Structure 1
Amino acid sequence: MYRPRALVAACILLALGATTLNAETESNSIRSAVVKVYATKRSPSLSTPWKRGDGKNVTGSGVMLSPDTLLTNYHVIAYSTDTSISVNGQSDRLSATVQAVSPGMDLALVKLDKPLPADSVVASIAETVPSPGTKIQVLGYPKGGESLSVTEGVVSRIDYVEYRQEEMGLRIQIDAPVNSGNSGGPVIEGNKIVGLTFGLLSGANDIGYAIPCVEIQRFLEDIEDGKYDGKPQLWFESLLCNDKELREWLKLPEGETGIRFVRQPIPIADYPLQLNDVITHIGEFDVSNLAKVDYDSNTQVSCEYALDRSAQDGQVQLRIIRAGKEMHVQVPVFSDGHYLLKFLNDQQPSYFVYGPIVFGVANAEFPDLVNSMMLQGGRNAAMALGLFKEMQKSDNPYLMRRFARTESTDEHLVVIPKLISTGLTRDTKLLTPAVVRAINGKKVTSIQSAALILAAIEDEQIVIEIDDNRNTTIVFNRAELDSKHDQIMVDNGIVKSASSDLKEVWSR
């Protein structure tokens, strides 16, 4: 059938206009699902663990997944004692409760105390990660105004990186304006969530980061049983095989690539890998000499991605080369890294007080805080650097064992984060935080064991050996500690001499 060119052109323009209108309508619809999140945070004190910090009010963004459930970043609601949201920029605040979190992946699911109307707009999550070059919109409530902010940009890069607390995942880099307060807001393509904004590149213009949709879906599937288990981990350490002479020494066939197994941080009986095994494949993924695997035809990412995609039922299949021979082995994977120093993750720290002596548990927050302060510059950096040097000189395990692992999850370092200033401590010299090695000759392996040892002592003196290279020892008269304990508690506003998890073993 003959159609005039003008008519054909008009039809094309109308069709394109309808497509554009539909896309705009869809993106406008999802905007109603974006909310502003309010949190009052009271973080614990690392040196005075019976205290919490003063309330700090922060705001972020979130997106409704159902009339009573929203998704946001963990760092927005971490240590929140009061969480609420506002919808469509309204002044009314709706109370909410944190339901599930992944501190490592920086994700949190929050439940409204009272659901929104059943016909409220909610967002759906895309199934695939957008490719670099894809146009996206960033929605949220950054500082500088009360109404919804909408910025546009493109996906510029896909990586597989460490997020927080040694947990790794895919990350989207976006070339779009991202500001403080955008955290927890959705990155959308059309009418689907393709990512959740969580950060920006400091010192750069219009470079932000988002947690992609597949990581969000994985989190939601993980918490279906009511708790977050985490991603699979291989308990081994490896080195690159990018040196030609090394590959020849390992008898790696021409054209083969991989990474070299060197050690296990935690011994496992009948472990299938041996020193100098070369791991050439994780599942179906080829491992390069630089520990990379193909994400797609254009992008290589960390080989941890292959583990994430290939592990099943607590195991992953590896193809290895051992002394020139090809083998296939099944290797166990774990969700807990068994790190000696753990993050608090919204938990109040364990502690007990005996007179002027405060006992606590070493956590991962402290060494990370010292490192962060050193990077800030200025007075804080100088203070942190000075403390770091002194702790380093004395081989203080609190810093030296930051990434150590243990067979038992019950084992930890007991520390004295603070000696309260009283007449009993006037002449006592101790660099805190100090790790406790033994009390009256008995080895301390946990804060429970420290409390039980002290409670059972009948000797005249309390002798505390510090774990350092100086054989530091502090000594107190037991009768004086007992007689002045209550007054020290009162003078320092300490209501409870022990955290709730230790009340069965320490009752002073």
Structure 2
Amino acid sequence: MSYVRRPHIDRSGKSPELSSPSTSSSNKAALAAETREGPDGMLEEGGEHALLARLLETMGRESLSEQTLDSVLRVYCTHVQPSFAAPWQRLQQISSTSSGFVIEGRRIITNAHSVEYGSIIQIRKRGCDIKWVAELLAYGPECDLAVLTVRDEAFWEDLYPLAFGELPALLDDVSVVGYPVGGESLSVTAGVVSRIELQEYAQGGETLLAIQIDAAINSGNSGGPVINDQDKLVGVAFQSLSSHDTENIGYVIPVDILLHFLADIERHGQYTGFCRLGVKFQPMESPALRRHKALSPGASGVLITRVDPLAPAHGLLRKGDVLMGVDGISLANDGTIPFRKGERVELHYYFSQLFQGDTVQLQIWREGITQDIAVPAYIYKLAVRPHLNNEMPSYFMVGGMVFTVLSHPFLLSNLGETYAPETDADVRLLSLIQSPLQEPEQQLVVLSEVLEHSVNLGYELFHRQHLTRFNGEEIRNLAHLVSLVDACREGEMVFEFDRGEILVLDAGAAHKATQEVASTHGIPASRSTNLVAPEGGTHAPPTSTVAAEDAKMKAKKSIAPPKEAVRTSTASQ
């Protein structure tokens, strides 16, 4: 089956009319109150069908079919996450429950955060007392989706895949089906589509299309299907908005994002990510700015302010170009394009529906001339990784100094969810989080902490410092640092940091102290397994994990400034 679906772009000015609501607000409020009558706030299995029938009859639709309800599963996961304070260790294991559902090909869809760092994943069918062990097939942190399967043939008896529907319209009725906290049986919550626009996904930090609904999405709902009035899948529950002045705001991954995720896996054998053009731009809503660029009356577009060094657009587009359109679609001065009738969407949506290697035709205004340029889309990469794709963090320890790679999980572990800086060095690290990669193998190496030893006396207050040079040579990545340190067996080791500080050790004494520090602190090795030297070698090859991801096309929270209202993913832990 082909999963490719073109973006919902209004090219002609004509779009399907928006659906009318089939249930009044007063009826929905009454139904919501009715579903809360149970002692645990959930629909209990015994009285499920009568209550569902009453609810759905009032909504003007037939009951969800038994087949649909049976396709919704409960997901159990034991998570063993790494410690970023001590990257050679894992944290105490925790357990969570969430939801999932069956699609064709004997596959199960759930959220990526539901199975992140899962040591064991189990699935339970509706009304069944058996849990089956599941296997993770694909993991997409940016879109917060994962694919599982169960190898036991008996599991698939009487299970049928959900059918895919279309992207819903505003005011469409939907049902959130899953296993939220508060009970053990299946729960169904009715809601209405209240907004469709780009939102930041809490799990991977990517900005993608999302559906906002007025049905509560609670812990445990994560990964559950959102069904329309035709009994078809229109999205996946994944996060909610937490704030003292909001309630019943839930977010759904649209079916289009799910289909793109599946098509990506089908095309490449694994998840690769979502595309971008690879530019930063400034809106041109100011008439003075448009006059400055000598735009023709009635012309519109955005001003390109940066082209990412690794983007295919680099060398084709320039700083100062005005981007006016893409594939025949006019771009407004605020950076939006037509979406559906009465709706507009940010340009990024169009590129997020493409695949790496797809080519777009851009219309630009350069030095008073309109030009058409063909530019390939690409998978955008930041120098500070938003996630580690279920991998353990890389680390290297010499003379008690622990180095690692700057990432969002590292910052989250050290600074907390609000990323509150404690030192000037922390501020410097935070300033780097939106920086694009400057070269394929680039990593930002940080001194995480200094484990005290006589060899490093005087440096015990150094921590969370961005390392830029070793013995005068610029550091490309952590493996490069390892190779330089391993080769320095005598004389001085001089570590230079971005704020100008230097840290000097005696090379011979530092190497000797490394094993003593490791023994004292229970560190099994001076470096992570991906940095271990080949047999007979002296150091790890200077190839970063970023480059390895490119070569293998492996799965790829840019964190926005702290907000009063925080979107949270909703696995139950």
In structure 2, what residue type is equivalent to 1:497?
S
> For residues 309 and 460 of structure 1, do their structure 2 counterparts lie closer, same or farther at Cα, with a shift above 3 Å needed?
closer
Counterparts of 1:318-333 in structure 2 under 5 Å?
A: 318-333=362-377
> For residues 321 and 484 of structure 1, do their structure 2 counterparts lie closer, same or farther at Cα, with a shift above 3 Å needed?
closer
Residues 138-183 of structure 1, C-alpha deviations (whole Å, 9 max, x = no match) = 0111111100111111111111233254533221111112211101
With 334-343 and 289-298 compared, the bigger mean Cα shift is at: 334-343
Of 401, 415, 418, 1:357 maps to 401
Higher relative contact order (CA 8 A, sep 6+): 2
Provide the secondary structure at the position in 2 that maps to 1:412. Answer: coil
Match of 1:12 in 2: none
Residues 221-278 of structure 1, C-alpha deviations (whole Å, 9 max, x = no match) = 1111321122221121110010011112222222222111222131768733333322
Match of 2:226 in 1: 187
Deviation at 1:97, TM superposition (A): 1.5
In structure 2, what residue type is equivalent to 1:156?
S
Contact 2:307-2:319 at 8 Å conserved across structures: no
Contact 2:452-2:460 at 8 Å conserved across structures: no
Contact 1:236-1:261 at 8 Å conserved across structures: yes
Deviation at 1:368, TM superposition (A): 5.2
Measured in 2, the distance between the counterparts of 1:180 and 1:32 equals 21
Counterparts of 1:361-440 in structure 2 under 5 Å?
A: 361-367=405-411, 373-374=417-418, 384-387=420-423, 389-392=424-427, 396=428, 398-440=429-471
Of 252, 257, 261, 1:215 maps to 257
Deviation at 1:199, TM superposition (A): 0.7
Contact 2:260-2:353 at 8 Å conserved across structures: no
Residues 29-67 of structure 1, C-alpha deviations (whole Å, 9 max, x = no match) = 211111111111121122211011110111111111147
Of 331, 342, 367, 1:287 maps to 331
Contact 2:275-2:356 at 8 Å conserved across structures: no
In structure 1, what residue type is equivalent to 2:291?
E
Q: Pairwise CA RMSD of aligned residues? A: 2.6
Counterparts of 1:150-189 in structure 2 under 5 Å?
A: 150-163=188-201, 165-189=204-228
Match of 1:235 in 2: 278
Of 166, 174, 186, 1:128 maps to 166
Match of 2:526 in 1: 497
Contact 2:425-2:465 at 8 Å conserved across structures: no
Residues 59-108 of structure 1, C-alpha deviations (whole Å, 9 max, x = no match) = 11111114742000011111111111111153421111111011101000
Counterparts of 1:96-111 in structure 2 under 5 Å?
A: 96-111=134-149
Q: Are 1:445 and 2:481 matched, yes or no?
A: no
Provide the secondary structure at the position in 2 that maps to 1:385. Answer: coil
Q: Are 1:244 and 2:326 matched, yes or no?
A: no
Q: Percent identity?
A: 28
Match of 2:239 in 1: 199
With 194-203 and 87-96 compared, the bigger mean Cα shift is at: 87-96
> For residues 199 and 77 of structure 1, do their structure 2 counterparts lie closer, same or farther at Cα, with a shift above 3 Å needed?
same
Measured in 2, the distance between the counterparts of 1:48 and 1:363 equals 15
Deviation at 1:309, TM superposition (A): 4.7
Deviation at 1:23, TM superposition (A): 5.3
Provide the secondary structure at the position in 2 that maps to 1:306. Answer: helix
Contact 1:338-1:407 at 8 Å conserved across structures: no
Match of 2:309 in 1: 266
> For residues 94 and 319 of structure 1, do their structure 2 counterparts lie closer, same or farther at Cα, with a shift above 3 Å needed?
same
Residues 104-131 of structure 1, C-alpha deviations (whole Å, 9 max, x = no match) = 0100001113244554223324241011
Measured in 2, the distance between the counterparts of 1:201 and 1:26 equals 27
In structure 1, what residue type is equivalent to 2:286?
D
Measured in 1, the distance between the counterparts of 2:76 and 2:151 equals 14
Contact 1:124-1:193 at 8 Å conserved across structures: yes
Unaligned runs of 5+ in 1: 1-16, 376-383
Contact 2:406-2:444 at 8 Å conserved across structures: yes
Contact 1:69-1:109 at 8 Å conserved across structures: yes
With 300-309 and 158-167 compared, the bigger mean Cα shift is at: 158-167
Contact 1:100-1:228 at 8 Å conserved across structures: yes
Contact 1:68-1:115 at 8 Å conserved across structures: no
Residues 343-399 of structure 1, C-alpha deviations (whole Å, 9 max, x = no match) = 312111111222312122222323456675337xxxxxxxx3324x4533xxx4x32
> For residues 438 and 245 of structure 1, do their structure 2 counterparts lie closer, same or farther at Cα, with a shift above 3 Å needed?
closer
Measured in 1, the distance between the counterparts of 2:324 and 2:470 equals 49
Provide the secondary structure at the position in 1 that maps to 2:496. Answer: strand
> For residues 319 and 227 of structure 1, do their structure 2 counterparts lie closer, same or farther at Cα, with a shift above 3 Å needed?
same
Counterparts of 1:37-76 in structure 2 under 5 Å?
A: 37-66=75-104, 68-76=106-114
Measured in 2, the distance between the counterparts of 1:311 and 1:39 equals 31
Provide the secondary structure at the position in 1 that maps to 2:505. Answer: strand
> For residues 89 and 146 of structure 1, do their structure 2 counterparts lie closer, same or farther at Cα, with a shift above 3 Å needed?
farther
Match of 2:547 in 1: none
Match of 1:474 in 2: 503
TM-score (norm 2): 0.77
Measured in 1, the distance between the counterparts of 2:355 and 2:141 equals 22
